[in-house]
Structure 1
Amino acid sequence: MSEFGGRSATQRKGTVPLPLWLAAVAVILVAVNLRPGATSVGPVLAEIQAGLGMGSVQAGILTALPGLTFAVVGALAVTVSRRAGVAWTITLGLGLVSAGLLLRSIALSPVLFMTLTVLAFAGMAMGNILVPAFIKSHGGSRTALLNSVYGTTLAAGATLPLLVAAPLTASDSGGWQLSLRIWGLAALTAFVPWILVSVRNRRTAVHMEDASAPRDRLRITSSRTAVALCVYFGVQSMHAYVQFGWVAQIYRDAGLEQAQAGLMAAILASLGIAGGLIMPALVARAPGLHFYIAGLAAAVAAGYLGLLLAPATVPWMWALLLGVGGFAFPTALALITARSRDPRVTAELSGFCQPVGYLLAAAGPFAIGALHEATGSWTVPLLILIASAAVMAVAGIIAAAPRFVDDQLRRHPA
């Protein structure tokens, strides 16, 4: 049964989903590889610059590549999946991730390194967009469980490189190259099983579209829920990347030592694991979500307010508040599947929301940094971030209302 009592599109068409255990393993394998390619760069950025002779401008471009590539390639992922199928497109993405990450670890020039990084991020973008559709196809009554598995593994995959980068870089067997190469090997390890999953997926005839599906295109912007969810996903993504990029520096500017500032950032990031466990279940089972949506936005605003008024007084409190506010990310991911019936609509909705979100994720840190440089303080940037938390709350409450995007769509011939 779906969240509001109806059968999923997959069930209505009589298709046979993968066994839950196999779907869960597949989700874990792909999810753990959708973030390390990005988060593994920051801890060794100085070593990369020294090793490749990379200038500060090139390093700045490198840090902006995840959001930009996720946005551009993510917008194309649904189109590719219409021809290849969801599972095969995810498999292709894992192949690109493994090739890009392995080859960039032996690149000898900054341009080649960034080109291969874009290749890897393109593969991650395919997974970002299409894993929710895969979950919708195979989750059935356990969709919330698969969403929890997905969100938790995503957060774990983002955190792992931060924990192991230093010891890997310090080792005698490879330095920063080894610190990057290991994530290419991890993606390669997932690539082969996903080939088998894709073959099994085709045999059980679970596709985003089937022969009986109408051959028209979905006008996703005709859905009020979809537009609101797009805004919600975008604003929370902007907050997440601003926090990853600037919170540690805000703490350091307030007088904290580098190690203590880094610990605050780690506290913030690690709470994403708890959010991935908790929020999909709440989205699936809570009779009303407006209280939770408003509470997460309030936590974000309170965290920024603390950084503005007393950043060094109880720094762990502001990190905890921002980390809890970051539960908005797994909430947004869960809403993509919870507010759509048909896996095709799920994919279209994901392909609409996530590229916009990652564009904001790329622009947000740049804009906040520019404001800080122009004003000479963090006051104006933090006030703007506090105000944007209200926008996130309003959009989230509209998106979380118990309505299906499918019922709001207008269609036009392909």
Structure 2
Amino acid sequence: MTTPAEHPGPDHSGPDHSGHARPIGPAFALVAAILIAINLRPGASSVGPVLEELTAGLGMSTAVAGFVTALPGLCFGAVGAIAVLVARRIGMTTGIVLGLVSVVLGLIVRATVDNTAAFLALTTLALGGAAIGNVLVPAWIKRQPRDVRLMTAYSVGLTAGGALASALVAPISSGSSLGWRAGLGVWGLLALAAVVPWTVIALRERKTPGGRGSRSRTDHAGRIYRSPSAIALAVILGVQSMNAYIQFGWLPQIYRDAGLSAGYAGLLMSLLTSLTLIGALIMPTVIARSPSLHPWMYAFGALLIIGNAGLLLAPATLPWLWAVILGASGFAFPTAIALITARTRDPQVTARLSGFVQPLGYMFAAIGPFVVGLIYEATGTWTIVLILLMASGVVLTLAGLRVSRPAWVDDELGA
């Protein structure tokens, strides 16, 4: 009897007689997965290193700046919650293309506006497009041959995109007469590269699971929130994403308040996010082959506690060490993303799980950056914030231990 950790996933390599589209070529699929993954995070991670300049340029208050850092979680949650419905209406891959076009338009146009309201609206458009990709791409990957390899590439791309944006936005901004506008707008141009291959895929895959109003046998199975594994996975993704988006939005400012330069703070943020590339590379394979994920979950929680304790006690003394430790704790993110496919059999259940776990997790995560802004504005220090983030490491471990149990969400739903 196989367990979810051992199960290689369904084989989609042969002819499909169910009415679904045949898989595209493996090389093309790999390129498409990498390109979209790279472009799903810069809209969120590029703001933090230039938040001070952006706030001054648009005349934002600290509270509004806190709301900007909370927008990724809010958009990923609210828009992600309807992504499966969008896929049923217009098709999975068509929905992904729609999301990419929204990313392109939002990121490019927001760099040209001069008022806060327009900037927030266009940021919402871009992040909403990314939210659609967040939910639908894992389900699309589940339909492809060798989905573990594609999920690894996708996880790496997510991390690389966030890291590149964090590292390069400050140098691009300082090296251009346009300032922060150049640093933020360039990522919309990068997203154009992903539109072409995904348009090709959408034109080829006119019939997709859950697309164009079709329904499958899993649609009438149990409610997804009745799955203990789904709940636990939503919690672990929520806690990890909360920490990640607090780091995207506020970690550079924590370092700058400790006396470091904007460029150095951006590089440290990039170091943190880059380290999760290692997790993105290894965790899908670890999940597929390891008999137990419990040791990993203990480690994720412990590293989160230690890293935030270091920021509290000596942020400027060993800034690179705290970035490394927090980056290692970020292995929890690719773990959670990979578990969406690893804990399901049917791609339609994967879509339902992704459409539940990611929106709920990101909505939970959205609270964090906003509350951080309020606490910082009220106290003028990072002490309370960092203590609360240390406590979140305990929650991360408890949720991680539950989702580490070998179980199929399909079985928990009676699908």
Distance change >3 Å, CA 52–CA 314, structure 1 → 2: closer
Match of 1:351 in 2: 355
Give 1:189-338 correspondences, 5 Å limit: 189-202=193-206, 205-208=207-210, 213=217, 215-216=219-220, 218-254=222-258, 260-338=264-342
Match of 2:81 in 1: 75
Give 1:364-383 correspondences, 5 Å limit: 364-372=368-376, 374=378, 377-383=381-387
> For residues 45 and 375 of structure 1, what CA distance do their matches in structure 2 show?
19
Q: Would you say 1:360 and 2:358 are equivalent positions?
A: no
Is 299-308 or 246-255 further displaced after alignment? 246-255
1:35 to 26, 38, 41: 41
Distance change >3 Å, CA 167–CA 318, structure 1 → 2: closer
Distance change >3 Å, CA 40–CA 263, structure 1 → 2: closer
Is 182-191 or 260-269 further displaced after alignment? 260-269
Is 316-325 or 59-68 further displaced after alignment? 59-68
> For residues 197 and 85 of structure 1, what CA distance do their matches in structure 2 show?
11
Is 282-291 or 369-378 further displaced after alignment? 369-378
Shift of 1:165: 2.4
Shift of 1:40: 2.7
Shift of 1:64: 2.4
Is 390-399 or 112-121 further displaced after alignment? 112-121
Shift of 1:65: 1.8
Q: Contact 2:48 / 2:250 at 8 angstroms: preserved in 1?
A: no
Q: Contact 1:165 / 1:179 at 8 angstroms: preserved in 2?
A: yes
1:17 to 23, 28, 34: 23
Q: Contact 2:288 / 2:342 at 8 angstroms: preserved in 1?
A: yes
Shift of 1:198: 1.2
Is 300-309 or 244-253 further displaced after alignment? 244-253
Match of 2:161 in 1: 157
Is 344-353 or 59-68 further displaced after alignment? 59-68
1:390 to 387, 394, 397: 394
TM-score (norm 2): 0.88
Q: Contact 1:17 / 1:206 at 8 angstroms: preserved in 2?
A: no
Give 1:28-107 correspondences, 5 Å limit: 28-49=34-55, 51-107=57-113
Distance change >3 Å, CA 383–CA 55, structure 1 → 2: closer
Distance change >3 Å, CA 265–CA 70, structure 1 → 2: same
SS in 1 for 2:407: coil
Q: Structure 1 counterpart of 2:23, which letter?
A: P
Q: Contact 1:208 / 1:343 at 8 angstroms: preserved in 2?
A: no
Give 1:119-130 correspondences, 5 Å limit: 119-130=125-136
Match of 1:407 in 2: 411
Distance change >3 Å, CA 37–CA 311, structure 1 → 2: closer
Q: Contact 1:88 / 1:195 at 8 angstroms: preserved in 2?
A: yes
Q: Contact 1:169 / 1:175 at 8 angstroms: preserved in 2?
A: yes
Distance change >3 Å, CA 378–CA 128, structure 1 → 2: same
Shift of 1:95: 1.4
Shift of 1:406: 0.4
SS in 2 for 1:106: coil
1:134 to 140, 152, 166: 140
Distance change >3 Å, CA 375–CA 172, structure 1 → 2: closer
Q: Structure 2 counterpart of 1:106, which letter?
A: T
> For residues 261 and 168 of structure 1, what CA distance do their matches in structure 2 show?
15
Q: Contact 2:103 / 2:188 at 8 angstroms: preserved in 1?
A: yes
Is 339-348 or 247-256 further displaced after alignment? 247-256
- Structure 2: runs of 5+ lacking an equivalent: none
Q: Would you say 1:8 and 2:10 are equivalent positions?
A: yes
Q: Would you say 1:146 and 2:150 are equivalent positions?
A: yes
1:181 to 164, 180, 185: 185
Percent of aligned pairs with the same amino acid: 49
Q: Contact 1:137 / 1:206 at 8 angstroms: preserved in 2?
A: no
> For residues 117 and 10 of structure 1, what CA distance do their matches in structure 2 show?
37
Shift of 1:255: 5.4
Q: Contact 1:9 / 1:341 at 8 angstroms: preserved in 2?
A: no
SS in 2 for 1:207: coil
> For residues 59 and 80 of structure 1, what CA distance do their matches in structure 2 show?
31
Distance change >3 Å, CA 62–CA 278, structure 1 → 2: same
> For residues 116 and 315 of structure 2, what CA distance do their matches in structure 1 show?
37
> For residues 120 and 243 of structure 1, what CA distance do their matches in structure 2 show?
20
> For residues 11 and 20 of structure 1, what CA distance do their matches in structure 2 show?
10
Q: C-alpha offsets along residues 74-94 of structure 1, whole Å, 9 cap, x if unaligned?
A: 111011111222111111111
